[in-house]
Structures are given as C-alpha cells and as structure tokens.
Amino acid sequence: MTGPGLDIRLVACAKTFTDGTRALEPLDLDIAAGETVVFLGPSGCGKTTTLRIIAGLERPDPGGRVVFAGRDVTPLPVEKRDIGMVFQSYALFPNMDVAGNVGYGLKVRRIPAVDRRRRVAEMLEMMHITELAARSVDQLSGGQKQRVALARALAVRPRVLLLDEPLTALDAKLREELRIEIDRLLRNLGITAVYVTHDQAEAMALGDRIVVMERGRVAQVGTPREVYLSPANPFVARFIGTLNVVSGEAADGHLHLPGGRLALNGAGSIPASGRLSVAFRPEAVAVIPLINPGDQPHPDGGLIGTVTAAFFLGDHIRLVIDGAGESAIVALAPNHHRFTPGDRVHLAVDGGAMPFAEG
C-alpha cells in the first residue's frame, strides 16, 4: 500500500493575510514520519491556516519554511507536493461520479486506464463503498461523501494526508464510526497525517500528539495523555476535558472553601498561605452520598455540597454540585449510585489538584 510517510518540519512559519490579519505567529514543529498530529483549538485560532501552509495552499510569511523529508518545499505549490487533502465540506467534483472522483488524481498523473480502474476498485473496497462506484455525488449521504473524499485523497498514494475537520459536518454516530475507520487507515498505511479539529474527543482518539493552539500560537504540544494530565497552562486545561477550578484561602497546608477544605499536598510548589486557585478533573473527585444531616467533612480534607443536577450517562453519572466551592463543581460517580437534586454529598479530591494561575 502507500509507502511510509515522510517527516515534516515547520520552521518559523507565520502568516499575515493581506488585510493585516495575523493568523499565525511563527511556529516551529517537527512531525515524524508516519505520525498523526492533531491540531486542536477554538475557532479562529489558526488551525486551518497552519494546515494550508503545510499543503502549499498558503505561503508562510517570508522567513518561514516548510520542509518535507529534508527537502525545502516552501516555494512548491500544492499540486507539486504530493499530498492528499480532505475537507470538512467534502469538496467532491459534482460533475463526476464516485469512481471519477476517486480516479481523478490518477488520471491527472496519466496512469493507464487499466491500472486506474484497478486502483479505484481497491480504494472503493477499502472505504466500503464499492456499490457506490457509479453514483453521482449528489446522491450520497454525508458519511458516504467523506468516504469518497478519503478514497480520492488516498488513491494517489500521497506521503502526507491533511484533513481539515473531516467529521465536523457529520452526526455523532457517523462521526464515531468514521473516526475509528480513519484511525485504522492511518495506522495501517503508515502515512504521515495532520488532522485539524476543534473536538477534543476526536483529538484524543486520533492523535499520536496533539498541538493545542490558541490565538495563532501553540499553547502545548504533547501526547493526549500529557495534554490531559499535565496541561501547560490554564487555557489548555480548560480546553481539553472538563476542569473544576476552585479558589480560596490557603492556610496550614489546606485550601479553605465554603464546603470544607482540600489538602494541598499533591499540588507541588504552593505558597503556604494567601489566596489560591487549584484545579482538578471531574474523575479525580470521589463522591459519597451523605445520609445524616450532621455529617462533617473528612478531617484530612473533604468538601460537602448539594447535588443540583445528575445526568445518568450509562457508564457513569455526571453530577453538578453546589455549595462545596464558590462555583459549581462537576464530578463523576459510578452508575450504581442514585442521586436526585438536593442530595447532600461528600467530595474527596484525589491527590492530583493542580495549582492554577488564572490566565
């Protein structure tokens, strides 16, 4: 199948549009051959711009360079870069049928018709759309269209695959299904892939590494585990997953909150006293239902609060708890518990509360 991908280096790639918009601050990034890197960030943070610079659809500002496998490709336009692209809007050729779309890149490369047909059939089979070969593209569902787009991009055996929010236009179930398929494809083909999304679940599932971006800057580069468990800054922490942030007075190794106090031993270098914020993930909270009205928080650290909302999500229950901190705290509880709004609960936060400097 497709040969091993190539490695990509971005050197000081910045982008200022002609209208003066600074879409990207100088960016340096190394992407290993065969790696899947996901660009993640809120709308307008420069993900698409970065992808288009890699593709050659956009030139970086002077001084920026794009290097493919040691070769500077900055001056090369997109058609000379040997890449595959997949767009959120599918961007299929409306005047060609499915097979015509998938075979287009081969036709441009003057591959003989016999080989072309064989390759197209192979691609259609790989994407499980063989029966759609003769369909016109406006008779396809969104999921089918994106399968055609993937087959079309992969048919020419590109060494880099660039995907810009390929699943955003699809409904949740299809998104999951196609995401698993894309993951399988990228692993099997060993192709270098750059994937843009603003969906953190997608980023976690697909990325070998995630590049979190914020307003044209890289906020953090790391494995899904790293960005989730040790976010580089409050922005990353808030953007990836749900994060509880509580503020209170620190004294004698504890953070004092309306619903009790939290031990600060797990939180690294923390000032002994003064006003402080800490953050923790919902799954770091152990929730115990309280029965007696007179129950007190655990002396080693614990908070008491009231359930204001409980969502049964199948594999767990998601709780919103008031009164423990100044603002609501989100916690997860095992699904065998039963909670109703108004229940009093005890919260213990597992050692991993992070010191949190408000950005």
Ligand X SMILES: Nc1ncnc2c1ncn2[C@@H]1O[C@H](COP(=O)(O)OP(=O)(O)OP(=O)(O)O)[C@@H](O)[C@H]1O
Residues in contact with Mg ion by the rule CB under 5 A: 48
For residues 149 and 211, which CB has a smaller minimum distance to another protein in the complex? Answer: 149
21 binds ligand X per the rule CB under 6 A: yes
Residue 45 binds ligand X, judged by CB under 6 A = yes
Q: Nearer to another protein by C-beta: 96 or 263?
A: 96
- For residue 73, the minimal CB distance to another protein (Å) is 13
Other CB atoms within a 10 A radius of the CB of residue 269 amount to: 5
- Which one among 49, 101, 200, 220 touches ligand X, defined by CB under 6 A? 49
Q: Is 121 in the site for another protein (CB under 8 A)?
A: no
Question: Which amino acid is present at 42?
Answer: P
Residues of span 139-158 touching another protein by CB under 8 A: 149, 152-153, 156
Residue 109 CB contacts under 8 Å (≥ 6 apart), including other chains: 156
Residue of the chain from 31, 55, 191, 206 that contacts another protein (CB under 8 A): 55
- Residue 209 touches which of ligand X, Mg ion, another protein, none (Cβ within 5-8 Å per kind): none
Task: Report the site for ligand X in 106-145 (rule: CB under 6 A).
Answer: none
Of 48 and 101, the one with the shorter C-beta distance to Mg ion is 48
| 210 within 8 A of 221, measured Cβ to Cβ | yes
Asked if 198 interacts with ligand X (CB under 6 A), we say: yes
* HSE-CB for 59 with a 13 A CA cutoff: 8
Size of the site for another protein (CB under 8 A): 31
Give the footprint of another protein on residues 88-117 (CB under 8 A).
89, 91-97, 100, 104-105, 108-109
Site for another protein in 196-215 (CB under 8 A): none
C-alpha neighbours within 13 Å on the C-beta side of residue 161: 32
Contacted by 100, from ligand X, Mg ion, another protein, none: CB < 5 to 8 Å by type? another protein
Q: Which does 105 bind (CB under 5 to 8 A by kind): ligand X, Mg ion, another protein, none?
A: another protein
Nearest alpha carbon to residue 200 among 39, 82, 22: 39
Please report, as a single letter, which amino acid is at residue 11: V
- Among candidates 321, 339, 346, which has minimal Cα distance to 244? 321
Q: Give yes or no for residue 159 binding another protein (CB under 8 A).
A: no
Residue (44 or 77) nearer to ligand X, CB? 44
**Does residue 23 belong to the site contacting ligand X (CB under 6 A)?**
yes
In order of 117, 154, 297, the CA distances from 112 in angstroms are 9, 18, 76
Cβ distance to Mg ion smaller for residue 163 or 287? 163
> Are 254 and 349 a contacting pair, CB within 8 Å?
no
Sign of the CA dihedral with 114 first, then 116, 120, and 123 last? positive
Beta-strand relationship, 209-214 and 192-197:
unpaired
- Asked if 47 interacts with ligand X (CB under 6 A), we say yes
The answer to the question of residue 78 lying near another protein (CB under 8 A) is yes
| CB of 27 vs ligand X, minimal distance in Å | 12
Nearest residue to 193 via CA among 40, 85, 77: 85
CA 210/CA 30 separation, integer angstroms: 12
DSSP string, 305-337: EEEEEEEE-SSEEEEEEESSSSS-EEEEEETT-
Candidates 5, 34, 46, 105: give the one binding ligand X (CB under 6 A): 46
Query: Which residue lies nearer to another protein by CB, 149 or 310?
Result: 149
Residue 17 is a binding residue for ligand X (CB under 6 A): yes
Distances (CA, A) of 139 to 18, 95, 147, 171: 39, 12, 14, 18
Query: Contact positions toward ligand X, by CB under 6 A?
Result: 17, 19, 21, 23, 41, 43-49, 198
